[in-house]
C-alpha cells in the first residue's frame, strides 16, 4: 500500500496555505473544508490506513475526486487532479552543473534545482545564520565529509549537496519527502522520530520541527 503522492505533496503544502489556521486545531495540517469534526488530514490518514488493513488490495482511489477537489480549492494550493508535479524548467546559470550532478548521482535534476532554490535562491555566496554555506547550504562538517573544500564554489557545492541528497534517498528507500526532511533537520532527528516513509512523515509530522515541515513543502512546491 502507498498513498497517492499527489496527496502527500498537497498535505505537506497545506503547511504553507494562508487560509489554514494552524493554531486552532491539534494538528497544524488541519483544515476546515465543509467538515464538522474531522479534518481533511484525518480523512486522508484514515482512508489510507484502512487500505493498509486490507492488504493494499482495495481498488478504489485513496480519496474520492470531490474530496481531492476540496483540498485543491484551498487558497494558494495547486490543483492536485492535474497530474502532480510541474517541474520548473532549468534556467539558472548552474544548469550544466545540475545536470552533471543529476547524472552522476542519479538524482532528478528538478529536485536538485528545487533544493537550491529553497536553500539559497541560487546565491552561491549565501550563508545562513547557522553557518550553512553556498547554493545547497552545506555545513562545514558535512562539506568536509563530502569532499568539498570550498562551499562557495558552485561546482563543488552542487556536487557535494547532490551526493548528500543521493545518500539520503538511498537511506530512506527513495522516499523523497523523508530525504528532504533529513536534509533539513538531519537524519538523526528523522530517525529518532521513527520516520522512514512518506506516509509516516505525514502521520508523525509533529515529531519534526515546524521549520522542517515547511521546508519539505517549499521544496515540493518549487519542484
Q: What is the pLDDT of residues 107-134, one digit of tens each?
A: 999 999 999 999 999 999 999 999 999 9
119 tagged catalytic: yes
pLDDT tens, residue by residue, 165-195: 999 999 999 999 999 999 999 999 999 999 9
Domain spans in the chain, listed from the N-terminal domain onward:
5-73, 95-222
pLDDT for position 92? 74
- Please, which residues have CB within 8 angstroms of residue 1's CB and are 6 or more apart in sequence? 48, 51, 52, 55, 56
Greater model confidence, 10 or 204? 204
Q: Provide the whole-model pTM.
A: 0.68
Given 66, 119, 210, 211, which residue is catalytic? 119
As a whole number of angstroms, the distance between CA 134 and CA 104 comes to 20
**Residue ranges with strand state E in the chain:** none
Q: How far is CA 72 from CA 28, 126, 128, 142, in A?
A: 17, 34, 33, 38
- Please, which residues have CB within 8 angstroms of residue 216's CB and are 6 or more apart in sequence? 12, 177, 180, 181, 184, 201
**At 97, is the pLDDT very low, low, confident or very high (cuts 50, 70, 90)?**
very high
Greater model confidence, 75 or 198? 198
Element (H, E) at 159: helix 154-171
Asked if residue 150 has pLDDT above 80, the reply is yes
Question: What is the architecture, at CATH level 2, of domain 95-222?
Answer: Orthogonal Bundle (1.10)
Q: Which residues pair with 133 in a beta bridge?
A: 127, 138
Amino acid at each position: 500500500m502507498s498513498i497517492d503522492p499527489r496527496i502527500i505533496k498537497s498535505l505537506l503544502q497545506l503547511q504553507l496555505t494562508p487560509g489554514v489556521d494552524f493554531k486552532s486545531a491539534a494538528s497544524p495540517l488541519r483544515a476546515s473544508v465543509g467538515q464538522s469534526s474531522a479534518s481533511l488530514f484525518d480523512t486522508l490518514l484514515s482512508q489510507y490506513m484502512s487500505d493498509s488493513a486490507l492488504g493494499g488490495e482495495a481498488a478504489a482511489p485513496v480519496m474520492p475526486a470531490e474530496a481531492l477537489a476540496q483540498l485543491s480549492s484551498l487558497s494558494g494550493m495547486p490543483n492536485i487532479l492535474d497530474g502532480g508535479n510541474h517541474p520548473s524548467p532549468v534556467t539558472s546559470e548552474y544548469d550544466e552543473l545540475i545536470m552533471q550532478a543529476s547524472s552522476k548521482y542519479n538524482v532528478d535534476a528538478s529536485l536538485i534545482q528545487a533544493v537550491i532554490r529553497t536553500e539559497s535562491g541560487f546565491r552561491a555566496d549565501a550563508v545562513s545564520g547557522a553557518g550553512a554555506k553556498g547554493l545547497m547550504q552545506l555545513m562545514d562538517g558535512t562539506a568536509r565529509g563530502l569532499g568539498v573544500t570550498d562551499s562557495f564554489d558552485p561546482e563543488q557545492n552542487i556536487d557535494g549537496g547532490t551526493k548528500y541528497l543521493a545518500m539520503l534517498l538511498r537511506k530512506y528507500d527513495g522516499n523523497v519527502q523523508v530525504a528532504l526532511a533529513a536534509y533539513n533537520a538531519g537524519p538523526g532527528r528523522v530517525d529518532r522520530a521513527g520516520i522512514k516513509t512518506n506516509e509516516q512523515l505525514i502521520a508523525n509530522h509533529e515529531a519534526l520541527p515546524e521549520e522542517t515541515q515547511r521546508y519539505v513543502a517549499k521544496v515540493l512546491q518549487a519542484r
